[in-house]
Amino acid sequence: MIICLSSLKGGSGKTTLAVHLAHAISLSKKKVILIDADPQGSSQGWAASREDKPPFPVIGMARNTLHRDLPELLENYDHCVIDTPPRVSALARTAILAADLVLIPVQPSSYDIWAASETVKLIEEAQGFKPEIIAAFVINRKITNTAISREVSEALSDYEFPLLKTTIGQRVIFSESSAGYSVMELAPGKVASTEIKQLSQEVIKMMGLQKW
Ligand SMILES: Nc1ncnc2c1ncn2[C@@H]1O[C@H](COP(=O)(O)OP(=O)(O)OP(=O)(O)O)[C@@H](O)[C@H]1O
Ligand SMILES: [Mg+2]
């Protein structure tokens, strides 16, 4: 399966969730590759920051023909995660077109809620060419018991795309994970790690898979 993390809002958590989903998949002994389609190269930077070999390959492929090129490249992999740039661009489009599932991270803020409509438009355009693309929102950086966190769920219910039940909290360990190690490595068994595993399980269920 190909999962694309997509949001036109900068800093919404695309790279963080891409790296963590890829790691969650690799932990179940499946072959996963992370494609960094963002010319900013944050996912590649994540892998390069490690002292050891990353648990899955991270390949920079900021090219406009991903949807055409990926199937052949992925012959030796079970799953693929794509990290994308936060701009309406040929790159954002090709990554969505290549995907089976597009996950849209949304932070509980008015800016993110406004930006969601642009991202939805981009995905709906792609669905015009490839109707089988599935898309869903995932709330990232949730702060429990805040009004805005409740409002974001309500605002997103206006869209056709579902909102995943799993939410990812605002946690310092996620910021620390940008130095090259996932929260499953930095703090196994802690809440952040549990949230990522839940996210991964919800995605499996949503896509009708038994497991990764
Ligand atoms: N759940 C979280 N808790 C705490 N910090 C987070 C969380 N998710 C992301 N961050 C931090 O927020 C910043 C932006 O996240 P990230 O780089 O994943 O967003 P992005 O959507 O990839 O950004 P860009 O649009 O620039 O590519 C990073 O510093 C990251 O460590
Ligand atoms: Mg990024």
Q: Read off the tokens for 133.
A: 């693309």
Ligand of minimum distance to the alpha carbon of 44: 2
Please say whether the beta carbons of 41 and 60 come within 8 A. Answer: yes
* pLDDT tens per residue, range 86-109: 998 999 999 999 999 999 999 999
Burial bucket for residue 42 (CB in 10 Å: 0-12, 13-18, 19+): middle
Instruction: Choose one of 5, 6, 7, 16 to mutate for the ligand 1 pocket test, by most ligand atoms within 8 angstroms of C-beta.
Output: 16
Please say whether the beta carbons of 114 and 151 come within 8 A. Answer: no
Give the per-residue pLDDT at 150: 87
* pLDDT tens per residue, range 8-39: 999 999 999 999 999 999 999 999 999 999 99
Residue 73: other Cβ atoms inside 10 A: 14
CB of 168 within 6 A of ligand 1: the answer is yes
How would residue 183 be classed by pLDDT, with cut points 50, 70 and 90? Answer: very high
CB of 170 within 6 A of ligand 1: the answer is yes
For 2-206, CATH number?
3.40.50.300
